[in-house]
Amino acid sequence: MKRILVSIKRVVDYNVRIRVKPDGTGVITDGVKMSVNPFDEIALEEALRIKEKGLAEEIVAVSIGPADCQQQLRTALAMGADRAVHVQTDAAIEPGSAAKLMLKLIEREQPMLAILGKQAIDDDCNQTGQMLAALWGRPQATFASKVEISGDKAQVTREVDAGLEVLEVDLPAVITTDLRLNEPRYVKLPDIMKAKKKPLETVEPSALGVSPVERLKAVKFDPPSQRSKGVMVKDVGELFTALRGKGLV
């Protein structure tokens, strides 16, 4: 079966104003709205469009993390994923562990494509897709802003510093999504009801033969320094005088 694996990470909603814990050991997540990582919504939207074109038959959404991740997997099912796999763990999941766990699911599911977000907005690592492609030994096309599947190849337009780069990769492959790839659909109420009946499997990392390891130690979190107040100027002349006064022109 032509299958697409899409990863869905649970992160603090992008609208939330992040607050650092008073002791600097992390950010406050208690009582904070959590959502699907925005780049992962884009990944799922792209998988749905590929399936709607008749180029894939099944979409499997995967999330790794604590029990609450099932909320985000239900959102993915409501958006249109066919089934979900939750790798349940309370351990800290770094990109290396996420990639190893995804590889195990890939070996089981044999997808034609694994679509991930280019980065998770909580850790901003931008590593998991690249690590997964290396472990899987398959091509990667990261920061995708256009994806076209034809036969056993995908043509992917990538957003790179110099502009746009077009790559052709053999399938199966890993694709990671950039912001301009698509605009994810809204979930409708009947779809939320239908999603409750879709299959959601839970597995432990040990059942996949992986024990997540923590290789990184976060030493300290600090909130960004406060921006100083702006100054209103009447016209361009006053702007130049103010900039000159600061030695900026």
Interface residues with ligand AMP (CB under 6 A)? 7-9, 37, 39-40, 63-65, 93, 95, 98, 116-117, 119-120, 123, 125-129
Q: Residue with CB nearest ligand AMP?
A: 117
Position 133: which residue type? Answer: A
Q: How far is the CB of 93 from ligand AMP (least distance, A)?
A: 4
Residue 151 region by backbone torsions, left for phi larger than 0, else alpha for psi between -120 and 50, else beta: left
Q: How far is the CB of 161 from ligand AMP (least distance, A)?
A: 18
Q: Taking each helix axis as running N to C, give the angle between helix 69-79 and helix 38-52, from 0 to 180 degrees, rounded to the nearest 10.
A: 30
In the bound state with ligand AMP, the residue whose beta carbon lies nearer, of 190 and 209, is 209
Q: How far is the CB of 115 from ligand AMP (least distance, A)?
A: 8
Identify whether 172 is preceded by a cis peptide bond (ω within 30 of 0). Answer: yes
In the bound state with ligand AMP, the residue whose beta carbon lies nearer, of 61 and 169, is 61
> In the structure encoding, which two tokens stand for residue 216, read together?
């990184």
CA atoms within 13 A on the CB side of 177: 27
Q: How far is the CB of 219 from ligand AMP (least distance, A)?
A: 19
- Listed residue (174, 76, 190, 92) closest to 133, CA to CA: 174
Q: How far is the CB of 117 from ligand AMP (least distance, A)?
A: 2
In the bound state with ligand AMP, the residue whose beta carbon lies nearer, of 120 and 200, is 120
Residue pair 113/129 in contact by the 8 Å Cβ criterion = no
Q: How far is CA 247 from CA 23, 212, 236, 241, in A?
A: 38, 52, 16, 10
In the bound state with ligand AMP, the residue whose beta carbon lies nearer, of 39 and 51, is 39
In the bound state with ligand AMP, the residue whose beta carbon lies nearer, of 35 and 119, is 119
